[in-house]
Amino acid sequence: MATTQPTQHAPVRRAIVTVTIVSFSVAALLGVLALLGGDFGDTQVRVLLTTVTVGVVSIGVLCYLSTAGTSFQLVGVLGGVSVLVPLGTALVLIWAEDRLRSNDEAVFQAFGVGAIVAGTLAQACLLLAIAHRKGPVVRVLLALTLVLAGLLAAILSALVLGGAPDEDYVARAVGVIAILDVLGTVVVAALAKFGPGPEGVEKVSVPEGLVAELDRRAAATGRSRDDLAATAIEQYLRHDAS
């Protein structure tokens, strides 16, 4: 059960979602105008690359927000901070004049490592959000998948920074770890969504009016309907016992 106070941070999350939607909407509009607006030159290419960059970052931000209201929301915060690195360096690479990019290699390395870290944290946030309250088998697979994702991110980051002592060995290792990482992600997501629920959890019928209120509160706080219902029942039982 999450121990955070999501209601306190709900306005911040709503503001982040609003900024994300507005930012990508503006970028998407500029991309459409670039495609439809006459000659297709260097500026139009840069606009399209910016649209793609903002779109990918927006998806990442939504992944980070999936941990809101859970005990893992710090992972989402770290993701939100880390994604600023690839966003900033990508915009520099797209728009800065050559004289402003005096050290392209450093910028590319910062972009590469930042993108790897941000992508790994986005993957972790999604898996934690959907699987952390499932049964022991799913939690073990989740832990193994996160370890593989972290190991893969570390190796790829080292490669970006120029550390490749044995190219053939490293390539094989990266391939094996990447395959296992993807397999673990698919299996965890499938079991979390369609597999049996955690042990000791039973379904309870709730009147439609209360379901609508739970949905409204869930949207306002960023917590799941089940989490809110369990918290409300626990609070009622403690109050009734006293």
Q: Look at residue 19 in the predicted model and tell me its pLDDT.
A: 81
Q: What is the pLDDT along the chain (242 residues), one digit of tens a residue?
A: 334 444 455 666 677 778 878 887 888 888 888 778 767 778 888 888 888 999 999 999 988 988 887 788 899 899 999 999 999 999 888 888 665 555 678 888 999 999 999 999 999 999 998 887 788 888 899 999 999 999 999 999 998 888 666 677 888 889 999 999 999 999 999 998 887 655 555 566 777 777 778 777 777 776 677 777 777 787 878 776 66
Which residue type sits at 128?
L
Nearest to 120 by CA among 91, 93, 94, 86: 86
Q: How many helices (H) and strands (E) does the chain have?
A: 9, 0
What proportions of the chain, in percent to the nearest 5, are helix, strand and coil? 80, 0, 20
Q: Look at residue 101 in the predicted model and tell me its pLDDT.
A: 55
CA 66 to chain centre: 7
Q: Look at residue 203 in the predicted model and tell me its pLDDT.
A: 66
Q: Look at residue 27 in the predicted model and tell me its pLDDT.
A: 82
Q: Look at residue 199 in the predicted model and tell me its pLDDT.
A: 53
pTM of the model: 0.73
What is the rounded distance in angstroms from the CA atom of residue 195 to the CA atom of residue 191? 4
Q: Look at residue 200 in the predicted model and tell me its pLDDT.
A: 53
